[in-house]
C-alpha cells in the first residue's frame, strides 16, 4: 500500500489511475481503526479497482472541550490493518496541508436542515466541520464511490445531501453497523470507557432493540420513547437524545411513515456513545408528528 502525505503526489497518482479507466473508492477516517472502519474498506474493495483511505483527525469537527487533543493517533497500526484489507493508497495529511491558511478564516461548508438537531443540536458546528473536510477530500480524490458507516446515521444523511446539492458525481454507499459480540456498536471512543462502563455499554443497544419491538407492535411512540429513556437513565446513562425520525431524518409522521429510524446519543461518564436501529411500524390511521 502506498502512503502519501501531500496533495500534489496524491493528485498525480490518482490522475494516472483515472487515465487508465480505473474506478476509485474513497473511505474517509480519523484513524485508530477498528473492524467497523475495515468493513468500509472491504466494501470499497468489492466496488472499485482502487481503494483510497484517508486518515485525518479533523479539528474543524471538534467543539470546545471535546477530545481533539486526546483522540488516538495510531498511524503505524492503521497502515498495517489497511494493507491487510487490500487498501491501495493511504492519504494522511497534516492539518497544515489541508488548512494551510489556518482554521479561523477557513472556508466552510454548511448543509442546512439535515444537520440540525440530534448530534447537530448538541455538537454545534460539528457537521460544518464534517461537510468541509469531506468536500475537500472529494475534491482532492475525485472518487467514483465513497463508503460511510451507518452508525453515524446523521453524518451519512448530511453527506448524501451534500453530494446531491453540490452535484458531486459520487455514489455514496452506507455500510451497516459493525458490533462487538455483546452488541455494542464499534467506535474509536469505546477505548475511553472504564471496564465497568464497557460492561454497561451494551445496554444502549439492548434498550433500542426493546423500544423497536414495542414500536413494531404498535405502542405509541411517545410511550415507547419515554420507557426507553427511563430505562437508559436508570441503568446509569446520561441521555443526550432519543428520537424517532423518518429514514431521511425528517420528523416522523405517525400514520404516514411505516419505516423509521430510532437514534440515540448517551454519555457514560465523559464518553459519548451513539447508536441507531431501523424500525418497521404498523400502519395506523393517526396523523400527528413526533420529532
Residues 216, 195 share a domain: yes
Q: Which of 175, 206, 224 is the last residue before a domain boundary? A: 175
Residues 106, 244 share a domain: no
How many folded domains does the chain comprise? 2
Looking at residue 70, what is its pLDDT? Answer: 86
Segments forming the whole domain that contains residue 204 = 188-283
Looking at residue 284, what is its pLDDT? Answer: 61
Residues 148, 201 share a domain: no
102-117 confidence digits (pLDDT tens) = 999 999 999 999 999 9
Residue 289 lies in a domain: no
Q: Report d(CA 38, CA 45) in Å as an integer.
A: 10
Place of cell 503505524: 76
User: Which one from 37, 85, 126, 167 is the annotated catalytic residue?
Assistant: 37
> What stretches in the chain show pLDDT beneath 70?
255, 257, 284-291
Query: Known catalytic residue: 139?
Result: no
Residue 180 lies in a domain: no
- Mapped to the 3 state alphabet, what secondary structure does 235-248 carry? HCCEEEEEEEEECC
Residues 95, 225 share a domain: no
CB neighbour list of residue 256: distance below 8 Å, 6 or more residues apart: 287
- Cell numbers representing residue 228 in the block: 426507553
Amino acid at each position: 500500500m502506498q502512503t502519501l502525505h501531500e496533495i500534489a503526489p496524491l493528485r498525480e497518482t490518482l490522475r494516472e489511475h483515472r487515465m487508465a479507466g480505473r474506478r476509485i473508492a474513497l473511505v474517509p477516517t480519523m484513524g485508530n481503526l477498528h473492524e467497523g472502519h475495515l468493513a468500509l474498506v472491504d466494501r470499497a474493495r468489492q466496488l472499485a479497482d482502487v481503494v483510497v483511505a484517508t486518515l485525518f483527525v479533523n479539528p474543524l469537527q471538534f467543539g470546545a472541550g471535546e477530545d481533539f487533543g486526546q483522540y488516538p493517533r495510531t498511524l503505524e497500526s492503521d497502515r498495517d490493518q489497511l494493507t491487510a484489507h487490500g487498501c491501495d493508497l493511504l492519504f494522511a495529511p497534516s492539518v497544515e496541508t489541508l488548512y494551510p491558511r489556518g482554521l479561523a478564516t477557513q472556508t466552510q461548508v454548511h448543509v442546512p436542515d439535515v444537520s440540525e438537531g440530534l448530534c447537530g443540536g448538541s455538537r454545534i458546528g460539528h457537521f460544518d466541520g464534517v461537510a468541509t473536510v469531506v468536500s475537500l477530500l472529494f475534491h482532492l480524490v475525485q472518487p467514483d464511490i465513497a463508503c460511510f458507516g451507518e452508525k453515524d446515521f446523521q453524518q451519512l444523511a448530511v453527506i448524501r445531501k451534500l453530494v446531491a446539492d453540490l452535484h458531486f458525481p459520487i455514489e455514496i454507499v452506507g455500510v451497516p453497523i459493525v458490533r462487538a459480540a455483546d452488541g455494542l456498536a464499534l467506535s474509536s471512543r469505546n477505548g475511553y470507557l472504564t471496564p465497568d462502563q464497557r460492561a454497561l455499554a451494551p445496554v444502549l443497544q439492548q434498550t433500542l432493540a426493546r423500544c423497536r419491538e414495542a414500536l413494531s407492535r404498535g405502542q405509541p411512540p411517545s410511550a415507547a420513547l419515554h420507557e426507553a429513556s427511563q430505562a437508559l437513565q436508570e441503568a446509569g446513562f446520561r441521555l443526550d437524545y432519543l428520537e424517532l425520525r423518518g429514514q431521511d431524518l425528517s420528523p416522523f409522521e405517525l400514520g404516514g411513515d411505516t419505516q423509521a429510524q430510532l437514534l440515540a446519543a448517551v454519555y457514560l461518564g465523559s464518553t459519548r456513545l451513539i447508536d441507531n436501529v431501523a424500525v418497521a411500524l404498523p400502519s395506523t390511521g393517526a396523523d400527528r408528528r413526533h420529532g
